[in-house]
Amino acid sequence: MRSMPGGAPMADKSYEPQLPSASDGRGDLTSEQQDTAKLLEELLGNTVADRYVDFCKLSAGTLGLRVSSPIAAHALREMDSIFRETLEEFASVNPVPSEAELEKQNAAAEALRKLGYDEDAIARSVGRLQPQDSHKAAIKKIVAWLGLAEDGDIAKSWLAVSRADQKAHERKFNRKLRVDDEFREQWAQPFDMVIRGVAAALQAKYAVLIMRAGNLAQMKDTAAGLSAFEKQNVGAMTVQWHFYRSIEGARVVA
């Protein structure tokens, strides 16, 4: 694969996306979990699929770990976070700031600049001032965008398991913290259903991901387009191929 100025990869016109085998290291998953892992791989890429596989293995409780339930809960939280962050932009979750809010943000940035803070620190601070939907509201908007019922089983289960931080930081000294049937029933199985249901629904919306990649590739500011594309967390080979093929075509036209 060739590179753009600055080291960014460019698509080779002879390149065709090749999906890696979904069976590598996944033989101890159930057939349903293997199917889900393969679907995640095709939709969002290896990184997301691998995190799901690790979550399944931790939740099975067969790795020989003595304190496995907090680790499995952390894996669940990471998957929850990746799913939300990836889908939030497509579902238009976060509200657009008003003019008054933008004025306050600009004033805050200027005040920090006068105090001598660097631009990266200012950007992080101002970013915290951006209006954000609550965790609950974000999940409801995502499931609605996917065409799922806001009061359906998937939405309810997603909202319930999003409180897994309680389990991840559990520090009880009068009981073992190993993954058991209670953990699987309360946390692992509901979240497995969420992952499977959201991934299946995302298939019908996949054209949106492809179109978004194409639109970013057509941006006049190539660096901004690359940055925005990387933040999407969509590592699927098909989407990556479409983006870099499109961005090469845009440069040729320009």
pLDDT digits (tens, 9 = 90+) for 82-139: 888 888 877 765 555 567 777 887 888 899 899 999 988 888 887 777 666 577 888 8
Q: What is the pLDDT of residue 70?
A: 87
Q: Report the percentage of the chain scoring pLDDT > 90.
A: 24
Q: What is the pLDDT of residue 25?
A: 65
Q: Which of 245, 231, 204 is nearest to 39 (CA)?
A: 204
Q: What is the pLDDT of residue 185?
A: 93
Average pLDDT over residues 159-187: 79
Q: What is the pLDDT of residue 11?
A: 42
Mean model confidence pLDDT for the chain: 78
Q: How many CB atoms lie within 10 A of CB 169?
A: 11
* Range with the poorest average pLDDT among 13-17, 117-121, 148-152, 221-225: 13-17
pLDDT grade, residue 251 (50/70/90)?
low
Q: What is the pLDDT of residue 5?
A: 39
Average pLDDT over residues 223-227: 75
Q: What is the pLDDT of residue 206?
A: 81
pLDDT digits (tens, 9 = 90+) for 44-78: 888 889 999 999 999 998 888 888 888 999 999 88
Residue 64 makes CB contacts below 8 A (sequence gap 6+) with none
Distances (CA, A) of 186 to 54, 111, 180: 18, 48, 10
Q: What is the pLDDT of residue 130?
A: 66
- Checking if the pLDDT of 253 tops 70, the result is no
- Checking if the pLDDT of 170 tops 70, the result is no
Residue 77 makes CB contacts below 8 A (sequence gap 6+) with 164, 165, 168
pLDDT digits (tens, 9 = 90+) for 31-46: 999 999 999 998 888 8
- CA 186 – CA 113 distance, rounded (Å): 48
- Checking if the pLDDT of 24 tops 60, the result is no
* Radius of gyration of the chain from its Cα atoms, rounded to whole angstroms: 21
Q: What is the pLDDT of residue 93?
A: 56
